Structure 1
Amino acid sequence: MNCQTCSIECRSFGKHRNGLKRFRCPQCGKTYTEEHERLFGRMTVPEDKALLAIQLLLEGTSIRSTERITGLHRDTIIRLLVVAGERCVKLMDSKMRDLRCQKIQADEIWTFVAKKARHLQPDDPTEFGDAWVFVAIDADTKLIPAFTVGKRDRATTYGFLENLDSCLALEHRFQLTTDGFHFYERGVENVFAGRADFAQLVKIYGDHGQHDAAGRYSPSPMIEAIVKIRDGRPDPRHISTSYVERQNLTMRMAIRRFTRLTNAFSKKLDNLKLACALHFAYYNFCRVHRSLRVTPAMEAGLESRIWTLRELLIGA
């Protein structure tokens, strides 16, 4: 290794605590570290502290709480989220292919970006306001093969279904259950072309005092569930959205941006998408499912062991 200032060969100068060799220029005294691949690219934050920050974000901690715990600046934490999230997007895109999920449940979970819809101004960016995360889960393995973040409209629904279709093996037939959102009916028909035994489960909820301040966030009692067969011959025993609705709770607990009545909501749509990608990749490959006692990726046969967070970011 040559000195970048003097252009003469540096001499060995011990090692860092992590085992990397150090070198020092005999003329100007500058020190250098041997060439190595950094987990977070050009970011110089200590690896153990960076991994702790990401782990905290994955366990429902807000950006500023993570800042207080780790001592890292909030802008640094956001940059770590961006790096990790972008890698997880690529990982999900490469790993979620040729799947043979038999029973898939799909649902949407609501959040918002910057401000709620009722506070929007005419000159606000289009990404502000309501945001919906469309999620698909395999009822058998609990694997989440596909998700899409956007508005609750036709374009996002079709994009989500096309994303799910790209994850499944060609000509693979499966059972699909969704809620009663009307764009699913035509979307499933157009995207899957008869390969899905498709049913919609429409749940009717009663009034439980949601009109007053005390009961606004109280869960409404379900008074009826209506099954609508849309295509094929779905098995009535497996027409359910229970698992994907339970995943909605997992998201609200694990991603601080989804927690209601806080100021930890997303300020940028891109960061919301990356936070979701990080959550789903970690959920699939690193987080042991209590009922399965393995990760969803292991149950689905994609992996043979539990990944660490570091391995997740390296593998991505």
Structure 2
Amino acid sequence: MRCPNCGSDDIMKNGTTRRGKQNYKCRDCGRQFVENPQWKPREKDSTAMIDRLLLEKIPLGGIARGLKLSESWLQGYVNQCYEEVPRQVQVTPKPKGALTVQMDELWSFVDDKGNKQWVWLALDTRTREIVGCPIGDRSKDSALALGQSMPGVYRQCAVIYTDYWDAYKAVLPSNRHYAVGKETGLTSYIERFNNTLRQRVSRLVRKTLSFSKKLDNHIAAIWNFIHHYNEQIRLQLSNC
């Protein structure tokens, strides 16, 4: 028997664990361990697979069953990952000039349908990047937060197309804001992204059992996909 930490064979017995297994201690480095431990650290390939599956329409229970993981361990891992997700857009820098943005809001809920959480989105029509996204109620305060969440060049220069929801008219600059109907096609890109978001984030699927129970995780899951989506857009642009 050798120490898993330093490889020394100077090992002594050191009592038993709470589960009754023989405990050992290395005399050289002091590491305590058991023979054939049940718990082992997850390999990087395993966590990388989890990270990829979190970007697909698969509930956490499905990921746990598919990868043969403990649901409690997986939930803890997801909580830790989501705490590190940035909550602001990351887009390619744009010079001042002609920019066009489409805006829309997407209904969702946390824990029950009475706790509505609206996902407000702004999309650059040329690059298709998401350039703004707050999550909150459907008031003009959230519409204002959407405008403020965009990079400065968009706030200063972009022409903005939205639907007829009154909150937009109350907060967006009147000389650059146009309220239009779906028949014009001037909000088609953001409406298509709304569909993509519902197809890829399981907690946004209508009539789903994978709804969020924690607001922070709900917001982080949406931001996690948006960052991935924008990263894929940037890769496409760099290869053109």
Measured against the shorter chain, the TM-score band is 0.7 to 0.9
Q: 1:141 touches 1:299 (CA, 8 Å); kept in 2?
A: no
Cα 1:73–1:274 change in 2 (3 A) is same
Instruction: Show the counterpart of 2:158.
Output: 174
1:281 aligns with 2:227: yes
1:69 match: 66
**How big is the shift at 1:27?**
4.3
Q: Which moved more, 1:78-87 or 1:147-156?
A: 78-87
1:254-269 equivalences in 2 (<5 Å)? 254-269=200-215
Residue 107 (str. 1) matches residue 123 (str. 2): no
| Contact map agreement 1:88 1:278 (CA 8 A) in 2 | yes
Contact map agreement 2:3 2:9 (CA 8 A) in 1: no
**Can you list the C-alpha shifts for 1:241-283, whole angstroms capped at 9, x where unaligned?**
1000000111111000011122111111111100011101111
1:197 alignment partner AA: R
Q: Match for residue 14 of structure 2?
A: none
Structure 2 counterpart of 1:19: none
CA distance in structure 1 between the partners assigned to 2:92 and 2:79 by the alignment: 24
- Distance in 1 (CA, whole Å) between partners of 2:108 and 2:155 is 34
- Residues 236-275 of structure 1 mapped to structure 2, 5 A cutoff: 240-275=186-221
Amino acid at match of 2:225: H
TM-superposed CA distance for 1:181, in Å, is 1.3
- In 2 relative to 1, CA 53–172 (structure 1 residues): closer, same or farther, beyond 3 Å? same
d(CA) in 1 for partners of 2:123, 2:155: 19
Q: What is the RMSD computed on CA atoms of the aligned residues?
A: 3.0
Return closer, same or farther for 1:179/1:44 CA change in 2, 3 Å cut-off: farther
Q: Partner of 2:153: helix, strand, or coil?
A: coil
Separation (CA, whole Å) in 2 of partners of 1:75 and 1:156 = 34
Query: Equivalents in 1 of 2:91, 2:221: separation in Å?
Result: 18
SS at match of 1:116: strand
Distance 1:72 1:171 in 2: 45
Structure 1 distance, partners of 2:75, 2:121, is 24
The alpha carbon displacement at 1:88 in A equals 3.3
Change (3 A) 1:145 1:75: farther
CA contact (8 A) 2:147 2:155 kept: no
Contact 2:99 2:154 in 1 (8 A): no
Q: Which residue of 2 aligns with 1:197?
A: 176
Secondary structure at the counterpart of residue 133 of structure 2: strand
Does the alignment pair 1:296 with 2:233? yes
Structure-2 residue corresponding to 1:151? 137
- Which whole-Å deviations, capped at 9, do the CAs of 1:6-37 have from their partners, x for residues lacking one? xxxxxx989xxxxxxx52356446498xxxxx
Task: Give 1:75 shift.
Answer: 3.0
What is the deviation of 1:111? 1.1
Match of 2:22 in 1: none
Indicate which of 48, 54, 58 corresponds to 1:57.
54
Gaps of 5+ in 2: 12-24, 30-39
Equivalenced residues, count: 212
User: Per-residue CA shift, 1:187-238, capped at 9, x if unaligned?
Assistant: 113xxxx7x62111134xxxxxxxxxxxxxxxxxxxxx4x7xxxxxxxxxxx
Q: In the aligned structure 1, how far is the partner of 2:154 from the partner of 2:179? A: 24
TM-score (norm 1): 0.59
Q: 2:112 aligns to what SS in structure 1?
A: coil
